[in-house]
């Protein structure tokens, strides 16, 4: 099966494009997916750092609020008088200056006057002069952050005051915004406190994470066919914060990018084919012109034009073809002139041959006549001699002599 040069070039261009673009597209798709997953992992690796920084800032602020309450003169005086009502009123009044925080008051005996129940170890650390800030869970108040500061009067411990901040959906939502991930808050007793993601996988993820130890690595889980990347962190008090990213959501942009890539691939293919067609046409035209010129030369036409090309190699071929054509025309012309000269010589030779044949014929005739004359002359000479003898014998007879003379004259 024969294929034109233009079709072969277009097929070659298409093959090169497919061999170049298809593997490139597949490789880019895989690298894009891997890059997106790695980006999610990087974000999740920084999430515990964001939590730690936020916790440190909040702990410092709440410790300062607790300290401000603990050194308030009115509150200290009320604690000294054991005026519970005044203490509670003043503590609430001070706490209202701190949005989102509520007052916590621990009496001298370690029993809470206001706020959630506090473990004895935390009260003891406060009694020792510490100002703890930690997450804890209360049956009445749920999961939250508590900060305490000791109230000291006349060198003695009068109790402790501080603030309580619930760790609710709002706090989880703030962490979610900061870390760009869904946040799951788990109480120290491994109860689900809050989750900012979709409700469907919440319990399933909670069950999976509750069984896993807290590590510094980003871990991958699969639930109901969906893949999740999770980073875990603990806050003081034992509460766990899990940062969750659903890969199905993170990679949701991939089909769109694939569609865009396919569009770009198609556009690039069309443009490349158009350029390939133009290039193939430009390259095939001079070659076609050479073929046409060769065909016309085979018919004896040496004036057929030869197209030139911008491609150096093809142009050199066209130039060499023109030189060959011109040289061939000169050689054919010389051959024609030589043939004509040969025909003229052949004609002259034929004429000379005819003349020689004619001369040979005349010579042969002359020789034949000479032979005939010789053959005839001898008998005639004999007859003449006889007539001479006869005329001498009849000299006396006038009539016989006259006849003899007449016969001799006829033989002369």
H helices present in 71-168, as ranges: 73-81, 84-95, 120-127
Percentage of the chain modeled with pLDDT above 90: 21
pLDDT digits (tens, 9 = 90+) for 220-251: 888 777 888 888 888 898 888 888 888 887 77
CA neighbours closer than 13 Å in the CB half-sphere of residue 96: 5
Per-residue pLDDT for 151 more than 90? yes
Instruction: List phi, psi (to 5°) of 21.
Output: -80, -40
Give the helix/strand (H/E) hosting 112. Answer: strand 112-114
Query: Does pLDDT of 394 surpass 80?
Result: no
Contact 273, 17 (CB under 8 A): yes
Cβ atoms 167, 193 nearer than 8 A: yes
**Model confidence pLDDT, tens digit, residues 180-191:** 888 888 888 778
Superfamily of structural domain 6-250: PAS domain (3.30.450.20)
Residues 155-183: pLDDT tens digits? 788 999 999 999 888 888 898 899 888 88
Task: Check: CB of residue 378 under 8 Å from CB of residue 384.
Answer: no
In the chain, the percentage of residues whose pLDDT exceeds 70 is 84
DSSP strand pairing (226-234 vs 219-223) = antiparallel
DSSP string for residues in 161-201:
EEEEEE--HHHHHHHHHHHTSEEEEE-TTS-EEEE-S-STT
Average pLDDT score over residue span 273-290: 73
Taking residue 55's Cβ as centre, other Cβ atoms within 10 Å add up to 17
Domain edges within the chain = 6-250
Residue 132 contacts residue 122 (beta carbons within 8 Å): yes
Q: Which two tokens stand for residue 79?
A: 């604690």
Average confidence score pLDDT of the chain: 81
State the pLDDT at residue 363. 81
Counting every residue written for the chain, the total comes to: 412
Tell me the C-alpha distance between 229 and 244, whole Å. 6
Rounded distance between C-alpha atoms, residue 321 and residue 302, angstroms: 11
Highest mean pLDDT among 8-17, 61-70, 193-202, 268-277: 61-70
Give the pLDDT score at 113. 92
- Could you tell me the strand order of the sheet in which 192-195 lies? 192-195, 182-186, 240-246, 226-234, 219-223
Angle between helices 169-179 and 5-70 in degrees, nearest 10: 140
pLDDT grade, residue 209 (50/70/90)?
low
* Prediction pTM value: 0.62
Helix (H, G, I), strand (E, B) or coil at 238: coil
CA 353, 359, 361, 364 dihedral sign is negative
């Amino acid at each position: 099966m024969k294929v034109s040069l233009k079709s072969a070039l277009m097929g070659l261009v298409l093959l090169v494009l497919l061999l170049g673009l298809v593997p490139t597209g597949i490789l880019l798709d895989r690298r894009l997916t891997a890059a997106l997953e790695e980006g999610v992992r990087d974000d999740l690796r920084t999430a515990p750092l964001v939590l730690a920084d936020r916790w440190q800032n909040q702990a410092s602020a709440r410790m300062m609020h607790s300290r401000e309450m603990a050194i308030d003169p009115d509150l200290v005086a009320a604690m000294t008088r054991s005026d519970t009502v005044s203490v509670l009123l003043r503590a609430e009044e001070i706490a209202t200056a701190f949005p989102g925080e509520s007052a916590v008051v621990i009496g001298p005996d370690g029993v809470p006057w206001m706020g959630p129940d506090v473990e004895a170890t935390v009260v003891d650390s406060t009694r020792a002069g510490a100002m703890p800030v930690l997450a804890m869970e209360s049956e009445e108040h749920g999961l939250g952050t508590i900060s305490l500061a000791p109230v000291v009067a006349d060198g003695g411990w009068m109790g402790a005051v501080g603030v309580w901040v619930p760790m609710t959906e709002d706090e989880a939502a703030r962490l979610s915004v900061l870390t760009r991930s869904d946040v799951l808050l788990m109480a120290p007793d491994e109860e689900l406190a809050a989750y900012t993601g979709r409700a469907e996988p919440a319990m399933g993820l909670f069950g999976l994470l509750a069984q896993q130890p807290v590590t510094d690595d980003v871990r991958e889980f699969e639930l109901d066919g969906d893949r999740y990347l999770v980073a875990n962190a603990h806050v003081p008090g034992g509460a766990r914060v899990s940062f969750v990213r659903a890969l199905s959501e993170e990679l949701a942009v991939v089909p769109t990018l694939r569609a865009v890539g396919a569009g770009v691939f198609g556009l690039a293919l069309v443009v490349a084919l158009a350029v390939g067609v133009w290039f193939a046409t430009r390259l095939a035209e001079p070659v076609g012109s050479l073929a046409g010129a060769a065909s016309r030369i085979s018919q004896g036409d040496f004036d057929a034009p030869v197209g030139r090309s911008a491609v150096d190699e093809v142009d050199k071929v066209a130039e060499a073809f023109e030189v060959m054509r011109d040289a061939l025309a000169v050689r054919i012309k010389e051959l024609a002139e030589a043939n004509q000269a040969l025909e003229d010589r052949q004609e002259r030779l034929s004429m000379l041959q005819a003349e020689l044949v004619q001369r040979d014929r005349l010579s042969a005739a002359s020789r034949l006549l000479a032979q005939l004359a010789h053959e005839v002359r001898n008998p005639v000479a004999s007859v003449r001699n006889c007539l001479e003898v006869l005329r001498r014998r009849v000299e006396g007879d006038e009539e016989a002599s006259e006849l003899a003379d007449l016969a001799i004259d006829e033989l002369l």
